[in-house]
Amino acid sequence: MSDTTANEPVFVLQRIYLKDLSLEQPNSPQILAEQAQPQVDINLAMTAEPVADGVFEICVTATVTTKVQDKVLFLVEAKQAGIFEIRHIPDDQMGPILGVVCPQMIYPYLRAIVSDICTRAGFPPILLTEVNFQAMFEAQQQASLQGNGADASSAAN
């Protein structure tokens, strides 16, 4: 009986944490008087790194750049991470788990952090839209099959 339980699949979220957070307002306070509608550019990136045997750190990073005309109003970069124990999973399933399942679990925390930091900085909250990590993963797989050497990042506007 111990032989069958020893090889059973394991998927455990050990911890979710804020790995890095940065807020910049390089043109404050002068730019705060501007009345123009700001332009918001949002970029997302995802990384998966092994930490130990069967343990992985998954990071989802959002970079939000808000400009008025050509001047930066504020820039937020937040990196939300999770530690996952993943064992006895077939190799063909590891990519989707690391590239889809894990980021989907981390992303709601990242969305809350970005919204909160914008509000605390004195701006309206930036609400990151839902992300289809499955489509993002499939696009990356297709790009790598075509030899583009694409990494695990994507831009969302």
DSSP symbols for 67-132: EETTEEEEEEEEEEEEEEEEES--HHHHHHIIIIIHHHHHHHHHHHHHHHHHHHTTSPPP-PPP--
Kindly state whether residue 88 falls inside one of the protein's structural domains.
yes
Q: What is the mean pLDDT of the chain?
A: 89
Residues 105-127 pLDDT 10s: 999 999 999 999 999 999 989 99
The residue to which tokens 């092994």 are assigned: 50
Kindly state whether residue 152 falls inside one of the protein's structural domains.
no
β-strand partners of 23? 76
Kindly state whether residue 126 falls inside one of the protein's structural domains.
yes
Kindly state whether residue 153 falls inside one of the protein's structural domains.
no
Percent of the chain with pLDDT over 70: 90
Q: What is the mean pLDDT of residues 50-57?
A: 96
Kindly state whether residue 156 falls inside one of the protein's structural domains.
no
152: three-class secondary structure by DSSP: coil
Kindly state whether residue 155 falls inside one of the protein's structural domains.
no
State the total domains in the chain: 1
For residue 153, name the pLDDT band (cuts at 50, 70, 90).
very low
Task: Tell whether the model's pLDDT for residue 5 goes beyond 80.
Answer: no
Kindly state whether residue 62 falls inside one of the protein's structural domains.
yes
CATH (domain of 42): 3.10.420.10
Kindly state whether residue 48 falls inside one of the protein's structural domains.
yes
Domain span at residue 64 reads 7-146
